[in-house]
A and B are shown apart, each in its own frame.
Chain A
Amino acid sequence: MSEQTQKPTSEAAGFRGSRLAGADFITGVLLILFGAAFLAGALNMRVYQRFLISPGFFPAILGVLFIFFGIFLACTSSRRGGCADALRILSPASLKKSFTSPVFKKGGVVFLLILGYVALLGVISFVYLSMAYLLLTFFFLKAARWYWIIPIAIAAPVIVQYVFTQIFRIPMP
């Protein structure tokens, strides 16, 4: 197996296990809430003749299943200190630490660039928007030197637009 994916040390595994316990607890609580909302939505659906054959029947079963799985996750993670870990994860200090970590910042900016790109899709033409998106992303990621970045960011959307509209006849956003 690759060096990056080799088994972690027991300390690292313990730390990851502890983080996962907290995450499992939070997921458990969220699942309970989601299941309850899903169940409520299902029970409020129109009943045709009998509930068993009505549109809400199957979603109601799913809602119950989510509540069951949520309780299961919350209970099993609690035994591993999941509740305390969840509170620690959600504490302002921990959240601040997570949000200011270089990995989160990098991922956050990459996501925001994609979000901005998608949000502006119907507003700006696909080619110009893609050029701007690629330029900003390449520069942020320091993907290459500027004299490579600019031609790639300009050429790629033009080629994609031409190939898809002229050769494959695909509608563009």
Chain B
Amino acid sequence: MEYFQHIFGMFAAMAKDPWIIALIFGGAVMGLLVGVIPGLTATMALALLINISYGMPLERAVAFLLAVYVGATSGGLCSAIMINIPGTPAAAATSLDGFPLAKKGMGGLALGTGFIASFIGTVFSILIMLTLTPVLYRLAMKFGHWEMFLLALFGIMICGSMSTDKDPIKGWIVGFLGFALSMVGMEEIYAFPRFTFGSLQLKGGIPLIATLIGVFGISEVLGVLQESVPYKIEGKIGRIIPPLGVFRSLLPSVLRSGVIGVIIGIIPGAGEDVGAWLAYDMGKRRSKDGDKFGTGVLEGVVCPEVANNAVIGGAMIPLLTLAVPGSPPAAMFLAAMNLHGVRPGPMLNIENPAFLPMVGAALMCASLAMLFWGLLLAKPMVGILKIKREILLPLVVPLTVIGAYGGGVRIFDVYLMLFAGVIGYVLRQMDYPLAPMVLGLILGPLADVSFRQALMQSRGRVMPLLERPIGLILLAAVAWLIWTGAVRARTYYRKMDAQTE
């Protein structure tokens, strides 16, 4: 009871601070606008706007960044519905039914339904987050070095498997490359400089924010500008606010998609797009109108939109309890929190007990702001799609530079950002997912230090792991992931072999 009073207290405190309200509404509208533009994802929105939060106190930075996250995740539905090009990968499934609705002249109704579904998804996930996180804090306190190492390994393996629908081995390779990048700099046990090549700048390690901005920002600018396809807005927008009865009849789909979104959010690195596709697929199979999916039904918009926003709250659960981000934008948020001196993980509840209620209250306000702007600006936002990407994307580059520079106030970080951007671009061109790399960069030091400390504690023996139930469960999960991944990879390569023959 005291816990919920704390949450309501935090909510009231935020509502009373005009700066926080302004930042939440500002962040939500900025996120929406970035999300609307095809090619600019929620991660990129955070990458572009993270620099604004550098000088803010913690509460304001949290409120602002979460508002950007919620806004950008929802904004993608505009272009998915109106031009059949998802603004963010999270909205790709939305276009399957949203675009046919727009062609029928019901684009406005699809937009309004999408924004309300996004709101419901976010609120649902916040409630789950606020309920589950305290329980997980207690469980996380039981994690020792072996468990932390296996958790990092599990994170990379599952992220590699989930972030690509073809070959999980490519996802794993990228994840381990992230691990390798995180080895650069002074290691944490003996303060020994590794792979620094005598460079003083590299002794501090690879800066997370600059790398994230490069991988998700610069690589997207290069990719999108290279093959710009002109848009065509289909049909009239029409009415925006849907009748209330729409959601009453879709309640089972809403609940199912919300649960799917939260579960996918909890899985490290899986992301909003995976949640949306799964919810759409499940909706198509379970709905009595499943055969009409793809022809323009509102349920086909509701399922992915509830799920992709429910990922937000889900992704916060492992982030807050174990410092393992559930999605790439959550990784960006983690980087920003590190910059503000907050260390998410099992100790967060003891070191900063107000942080979880703060995140819950900020997310709640952010979802309200997103709904407000979404319904109010749905029509003008479609107008943004008329602005050429050749104008918008070059404007992004100076913002990425400020973001990379502001993190450490070093030009060197900007060079690293560009280098990371090129790597990200090349990997994208070769069908490699990027999320595992980011997760690898975050989890690398945890895996390295935990593994060596575990070996130190057990005097080089692996047997003590077998006496730890949580460790054994994690070990079994890793083994299962390797097995299923190998089977999937074999199927994929056999298909490729057959195609070549």
Binding site for B on A (CB under 8 A): 1-4, 10, 13-14, 17-18, 20-21, 23-24, 27, 31, 38, 41, 45-46, 48, 50, 52-59, 62, 65-66, 69, 72-73, 76, 79-81, 103, 106-107, 110-111, 114-115, 117-118, 121-122, 126, 130, 133-134, 137-138, 141-144, 152, 156-157, 160, 164, 168-173
B493–A133 contact, CB under 8 A? no
Residues of B whose CB lies within 8 Å of any CB of A are 51-52, 54-56, 84-86, 92, 95-96, 99, 169, 172-173, 176, 179-180, 183, 187, 189-190, 192, 194-195, 218, 221-222, 225-227, 229, 388, 390-391, 394-395, 397-399, 401-402, 405-406, 409, 411, 414-415, 418, 422, 430-431, 447-448, 451-452, 455-456, 460, 493, 496-497, 499-500
A55-B194, A103-B226, A130-B398 known; A170-B52 Cβ under 8 A? yes
Smallest CB gap from A106: residue in B: B226
Known contacts: A13-B499, A168-B55. The answer to whether A173 contacts B414 by CB under 8 A is yes
The answer to whether B180 and A76 touch across the interface, beta carbons within 8 angstroms, is no
**What's the Cα separation between A13 and B469 when bound, in Å?**
47
Do B394 and A55 have beta carbons less than 8 Å apart? Answer: no
Cβ B405 vs Cβ A171 within 8 A? yes
Are B180 and A170 interface neighbours, CB within 8 A?
no
CB of B176 within 8 A of CB of A58, answer no
Known contacts: A20-B431, A59-B180, A80-B497. The answer to whether A114 contacts B173 by CB under 8 A is no
The 8 A-B residue pairs with the shortest CB-CB distance, nearest first, are A143-B390, A107-B226, A141-B390, A55-B192, A169-B55, A58-B448, A137-B394, A173-B405
Q: Which residues of A contact B415 (CB under 8 A)?
A: 118
Task: Please state if B51 and A114 are interface contacts (CB–CB under 8 Å).
Answer: no
Contact of A114 among B52, B218, B402, B497 (CB under 8 A): B218
Asked if A21 and B496 sit within 8 Å, CB to CB, the answer is yes
Least CB distance, A156 to chain B, in whole angstroms: 6
* Cα(A18)–Cα(B497), bound, Å: 10
A55-B187, A110-B225, A114-B418 given; A164·B500 CB < 8 A: no
For A103, the closest partner residue in chain B by CB is B226
Dominant secondary structure at the B interface:
helix
When distances are taken between beta carbons in the complex, the residues of chain B under 8 Å from A4 are: 85, 229
Given contacts A62-B183, A141-B225, A143-B388, A118 and B394 within 8 Å (CB-CB):
no
A81/B500 in contact, CB under 8 A: yes
Secondary structure of the A side of the interface?
A: helix
Question: Given that A79-B497, A156-B398 are contacting pairs, would A1 and B95 also be in contact in the complex, using a CB cutoff of 8 Å?
Answer: yes
Q: Which of A21, A27, A79, A133 contacts B394 (CB 8 A)?
A: A133
**B192 & A170 in contact (Cβ 8 Å cutoff):** no
CB pairs A–B below 8 angstroms (15 shown):
A2-B99, A14-B500, A17-B500, A46-B190, A53-B460, A65-B176, A80-B500, A107-B226, A130-B398, A141-B225, A143-B388, A160-B399, A168-B51, A170-B55, A173-B402
Known: A117-B397, A142-B390. A53 touches B189 (CB 8 A): yes
The one of B95, B179, B395, B422 in contact with A2, judged by C-beta atoms closer than 8 angstroms, is B95
